[in-house]
Structure 1
Amino acid sequence: MNPEKVVFGFFILLALTLNVGFVYGEIDEPGHHHVWEFAAVFLVNAIATVLKLGDRTQMGAVLLATSLVAMLQLIAGALVWTIAVHGTAAGFTPNALASVVSLAVGAVVANTVSVVLLIVETVVLRR
């Protein structure tokens, strides 16, 4: 067993599962989407992105692309959250939360593609 592959797979799967946990629930209900959970999603996705930087294969390039898409979605969500909390008179409204969750769903899609590619790569290497 390769410990490097275990860590790599662990962070890819953790990024997806944390992200799904964040987006699960009513889209505009603040009690269902906590800021610290979003921060954990962001941090784990960033770690997964850094881990993908070393792979120089074609599959590695596609995995990195999926991770960069997820990070772009999460950065946009963090910006919406920050601007809503600190930059508007209305504060953090259900509409702002719905935007953040929608962007996080985009990251879920990118993370799902990443996990599927990881599974496909694993199955192909086994044969």
Structure 2
Amino acid sequence: MKVREDYTCPLEIVHDIIKGKWKTIILFQLRNGSIQLSKLERDIVGINQKMLLQQLKELQEFGLVDKRVFEGYPLHVEYFLTEGRGMKILKAITIMQEIGIEYMVEHGMTEMLERKVISYKDKERDTHK
């Protein structure tokens, strides 16, 4: 992805960096540390390997994600959030996840949360205060 040259606000840059269906999901999946490409592909429902690799490459270009390649056969590659920008953006994405959960709870959309074993009981209690 190419970065534009004319921005009116720093938030536009961040929006361009993480926009799209998959990038925030990929970043959130990396929250617990390094993950192999095959596991990312399994854990992100609906993404194919080509799209995953493209999105990871763009996230690497912006300094949010990096990868570690291990020698040997078969090829072993792990992706992880960078210490600086990657970990910073994770804070924002975690807040976005919480807002999404709150919205789903408020609108009775908890079936998917239960299927994915996403805790929402605290959010449910908070919405009824």
Give the TM-score, by structure 1 length.
0.34
Whichever of the two has the greater Rg, that structure is: 2
* Richer in strand (by share): 2
* Richer in helix (by share): 1
